[in-house]
Structure 1
Amino acid sequence: MTNPAAPKRRRPEWAGRNYTLLTVAAVATNLGSHGALIAAAFAVLETGGDTGDVGLVAAARTAPLVLFLLIGGAVADRLPRHRVMVAANALNCVSQGVFAALVLTGEPQLWQMMLLTALGGTGQAFFNPAAEGMLLSSVTGEQASRAFALFRMATHGAAIGGAALGGAMIAAMGPGWVLAVDAAAFAAAGALRAFLDVSHIRPREPGGGLLSDLREGWQEFIGRPWLWSIVLQFSVVVAVTGAAEGVYGPLVARDELGGAAPWGIALAAYGVGTLLGAVLMFRWKPRRLLLAGSLCVFPLAGIPAALAIPLPVVPLSAVLLLSGVAIEVFGVAWMTALHQEIPEEMLSRVSAYDWFGSVAMLPMAMAAAGPVENLFGRREALWGCAALVVVVTAAVLLVPDVRNLTRRTREVGTSAGRGDSADAEGPVGRLG
């Protein structure tokens, strides 16, 4: 019998204080950053830049991201993760604020835009492993996948508004104001993350050093075939889809679709798709996590293919919507596998190797987008991107551990024991 005097819970057990703060802060940054990505590309174009210049600015952001990711992961497993996150948010706030001021007050030089985006990429290199480790450690139990789905649902919902609002603001007011909004969003998010509680995370024992930490993370990473094989797959997928969306997309929008607003609508449709995918994963729990997730990477080939044709804005938006649904199935399955298989004290380092491998080729792809277009043509380059997504995704399905890693049906002790999966099929490890 229910006690009428007992207080009613307003949120599920897994939605604790840290989880709530992380979700609200991520919503704030997504609102700003998805519009800012479009704004940065159009800021370059408005100063007379071409495909190569857009690619150089995009590459300037991803190069330091690749360079400092592993260090960021080791630092986040050694220092309190919330302090690393706040410091990174502060750097992003300052760099985007200065970028906005330059755009609003005059014509920024290419080197200035590259420098400021490089600072932003440096901040993200330290933020991403700390944030993923913090989120993965903020939930427990069989409902972890539901928690991750809800988190992604909230952040992707913010992305929908951010992309659509960003495109509209660029068309109405120019890219500078969108960059200023992004700076303010980083400031607000950093303030929220300062209140995260890390008392549940066991302090690291003294001794060792940065290289020792990196070696431990590498051993954890390389010992799991499903982990490193999918990271290799995504090193190609992220590179070619990043070039398609970040470089060719704005150019196709300018030349074929009528400018920034239609491209913002198409990106917002992708955000709607990720939101719908998160809703699906809130209910659906595929037993073979990585098999279901990997099959859902194939639709990403539709993005460069749709730009190559190019499709009008309505069917283009439909393709991006489907891609968003599919990649969200992969995203939740991936986070659930990581949470299930990787010990808590290794989360940020494994996450850093995951991020590093996934984005390692992105700067080269961004910088090469212009020369490749000049050599082969934009349409041919985009069809090549689509083909590469299909080939590497088919290849990763040949790895037995990718096909066989199985969701646990019960909680197995504490985070330190998460790597001992009695319910998984085969000698599989965890995702990165």
Structure 2
Amino acid sequence: MLSSLRFALFSQRRFRLLASARFVSVLGSSFGPIAVSFGVLQLHGGSPGALSLVLACQALPQLVFVLWGGVLGDRVRSRFRLVAWTESAAAVIWLALAVLFAVDGPIVWIAVLAAAGGVTRALFNPALEGVVVDVVENKADRQEANALLKVAVNTAKLLGMILAGVVVSLVGPAVALALDAGSFAACALLFTVLGRSTPDRPVRYKTSAFADLQDGWREFTRHEWLWVTTGQLTVVMAVVNSVAGLLGPMMAVQYLGGAWAWSLVVVAQVVGQIGGAGWAARLRPARPMLLATVCTAGAALPALLLAMRAPLPVVLAGALAYGVLFDVTMVMWRTCLQQEVPDDAISRVSSIDLLGCLAIAPIGLAVVGPLAAVFGPGHVALASAVLVVAAVGCALLSRDIRTLPGGGTPRGTTAQAAATPA
């Protein structure tokens, strides 16, 4: 599937810098979850409850601040400077966390720093969507660009997953977190260099941030395919997170062979994502959102196979297939977003979508455990697969999903800016 990629965009210096920044950042970030989990449990007074507190403190700010991250991403003169500052702040935060783990620091300060790290992600992610359109100005190149970036990100994720366990086991969580901090600093430097070659954007000073958010909401609701897809992914991502975080490991312990088996399943999914991104680069569907929505049903595969107690090779094949389909969905969706939504509103619109997709994921994680204890993880996994298929079926009822054309020509008229540029 990777053979379908042309890699022509890598001849452009600005795209090389963007892809390098994403690769470095994701590679280092892959160390964080493993290092934090094992680090908290190894601390004096560490416990599963303490780990839950730290993870909750990290996740909650992403939901609280993501909308304002979208507003900021559309208001600033340079999205590159914004993401460089957020990555610099993340580098400082993760370095401080490394020091706390090294000296067996108090859980409360670790939770505070984890929350600060969550804020940086809330500001970074919506702005990043705008950075891509600022770098790849030709809409005809954006599908290829999104695919290449997904290949880079997933390759970094795979390498990070392999290296993180080794580093944490050999030299400890503190060193792993220090390496994570270093990756954020390197990413900030690359975005700074990239920003110097990009003219500043005009900004709107005559409107309030709240008015900007309202304008972003109007743009979001103007596209039926967009809000329908967000609603669908709200359900699907809650299921995916529940399977990955709870049901999968529980079923792996029951009959697959334990943690090593589930690690193979996760790796198979990431390998599939790399191949899926490569394949998506060359696809030119007449109805891209129809294809993306159908491919979303692949999220039911891991849960369904676990519910059937399929043997490990079959589960691995299902995870691989799901990874391929997932990245086809993501490349098609992101390309449609960049083609249909005005560039000066894309950070706000993507932040609203991100909030929707993540909104009920914590609730899913909270209820799946008790449900599995009562009904058994197999029955809950089967219900999860059915829920995914039902969400996809409901999304396909939308005529906009079924008919949105490809080709890079936005439908309708471009939304007017909230105020005149300064």
Alpha-carbon offset, residue 318 of structure 1: 2.5
Cα RMSD of the aligned pairs, angstroms, is 3.0
Partner of 2:165: 167
Partner of 1:88: 86
Q: 1:356 to 1:374 in 2, by over 3 A?
A: same
Change (3 A) 1:386 1:92: farther
Residue equivalent to 2:62: 65
Q: 1:20 aligns with which of 11, 16, 21?
A: 16
Change (3 A) 1:176 1:97: same
How far apart are 1:130 and its partner, in Å?
0.4
Q: CA deviation at 1:55?
A: 5.1
CA drift at 1:343: 0.8
Take 1:312 and 1:91, find their aligned partners in 2: how far apart are those partners? Answer: 45
Matched position secondary structure for 2:160: helix
* Corresponding residue for residue 136 of structure 1: 133
Aligned pairs (5 A) from 1:189-208: 189-197=187-195, 199-200=198-199, 202-208=201-207
Q: For residues 321 and 364 of structure 1, do their structure 2 counterparts lie closer, same or farther at Cα, with a shift above 3 Å needed?
A: same
- Deviation of 1:226 after TM superposition, in Å, equals 0.6
Alpha-carbon shift at residue 315 of structure 1 (Å): 3.9
Partner of 2:417: none
The whole-number CA distance in structure 2 between the counterparts of 1:33 and 1:13 is 25
Letter in 2 for 1:36: G
Superposed CA deviations along residues 372-409 of structure 1, whole A, max 9, x for unmatched, are 4445444444333323222111111111101111102x
Alignment partner, residue 299 of structure 1: 298
Q: In the alignment, what sits opposite 2:32?
A: 36
Residue in structure 2 matched with residue 286 of structure 1 by the alignment:
285
- What is the Cα deviation at residue 299 of structure 1? 1.3
Q: Give the C-alpha shift of residue 257 in structure 1.
A: 5.9
> Which residue in the other structure is 1:145 paired with?
143
Cα pair 1:59 1:364 within 8 Å, conserved:
no
The runs of 5 or more residues in structure 1 that have no matched partner are: 1-9, 413-417, 423-432
The 10-residue stretch of structure 1 (374-383 or 231-240) with the greater mean CA deviation from structure 2: 374-383
1:322 matches 2:318 = no
Contact residue 290 and residue 402 of structure 2 kept, 8 A: yes
Q: Check the 8 A contact 1:41/1:250 in 2, yes or no.
A: no
- Whether the 8 Å CA contact 1:85–1:193 is kept in 2: the answer is yes
Aligned to 2:181: 183
Per-residue CA deviation, residues 72-126 of structure 1 (Å, 9 max, x unaligned), is 00011111211221222123223333333344443863x5554333222211100
Q: Which moved more, 1:163-172 or 1:353-362?
A: 163-172
Per the normalisation by structure 1, the TM-score is: 0.83
- Correspondence for 2:362: 363
Which residue number corresponds to residue 228 of structure 2? 229
Q: C-alpha displacement at 1:201, in angstroms?
A: 5.6
CA 1:195–1:255: 2 relative to 1, 3 Å: farther
1:117 partner letter: A
Give the 3-state SS of the residue equivalent to 1:216 in structure 2. helix
Q: CA deviation at 1:16?
A: 3.3
Q: Is the 8 A contact 1:62 1:362 kept in 2?
A: no
Q: How far apart, in 2, do the equivalents of 1:366 and 1:262 lie?
A: 21
Query: What SS is found at the alignment partner of 1:241?
Result: helix
Aligned match of 1:3:
none
Structure 1 pair 106/368, CA: closer, same or farther in 2 (3 Å)? farther
Deviates more, 1:14-23 or 1:135-144: 14-23
Structure 1 stretch 112-121 or stretch 143-152: which is displaced more?
112-121
Distance across 2 between alignment mates of 1:242 and 1:255: 19
> Measured at CA, do residues 267 and 391 of structure 1 come closer, stay the same or move farther in structure 2, by a change above 3 Å?
same
For structure 1, which segment, 160-169 or 187-196, has the greater mean C-alpha deviation from structure 2 after superposition?
A: 160-169
- Do the aligned partners of residues 39 and 136 (structure 1) sit closer, same or farther apart at CA in structure 2, a change above 3 Å counting? same
- 1:272 is aligned to 2:268: no
Residue 312 of structure 1: how far off its partner (Å): 5.9
Deviates more, 1:220-229 or 1:187-196: 187-196
Cα offset, 1:261, TM superposition: 4.9
Structure 1 residue 66: Cα displacement: 1.0
Structure 2 CA distance for aligned equivalents of residues 315 and 105 of structure 1: 45
Distance in 2 (CA, whole Å) between partners of 1:307 and 1:94 is 41
> Which residue matches 1:389?
388
Q: CA deviation at 1:267?
A: 2.1
Local SS of the residue matching 1:143 = helix
The amino acid that maps onto 1:29 is S
**Higher percent of residues as helix:** 2
> Is 1:167–1:261's contact at 8 Å kept on the other side of the alignment?
no
Q: CA deviation at 1:251?
A: 5.5
Query: Which deviates more from structure 2 when the two are superposed, residues 377-386 or residues 143-152?
Result: 377-386
Q: 1:200 to 1:170 in 2, by over 3 A?
A: same
Q: Which amino acid aligns with 2:32?
A: A
Q: TM-score, with normalisation over the residues of structure 2? A: 0.85
Question: Is 1:305–1:382's contact at 8 Å kept on the other side of the alignment?
Answer: yes
Mapped to 1, the partners of 2:308 and 2:101 lie a distance apart of 33
Relative to structure 1, the CA distance from residue 274 to residue 133 in structure 2 (aligned partners, 3 Å threshold; closer, same or farther) is same
Amino acid at match of 1:94: V
Choose the corresponding residue for 1:124, options 121, 136, 149: 121
Give the SS at the match of 2:89.
Answer: helix
Q: What is the identity, as a one-letter code, of the residue corresponding to 1:27? A: F
Equivalent residue letter for 1:101: V
Alignment match, 2:242: 243
The one of 104, 107, 112 aligned to 1:115: 112
Unaligned residue ranges in structure 2 (runs of 5+)? 1-5, 415-422
Question: Could you say if the C-alpha distance between residues 218 and 146 of structure 1 is closer, same or farther in structure 2, counting changes exceeding 3 Å?
Answer: same
CA distance in 2, matches of 1:310, 1:176: 38
Deviates more, 1:320-329 or 1:358-367: 358-367
- 2:134 and 2:11 map into 1 onto residues whose CA distance is 12
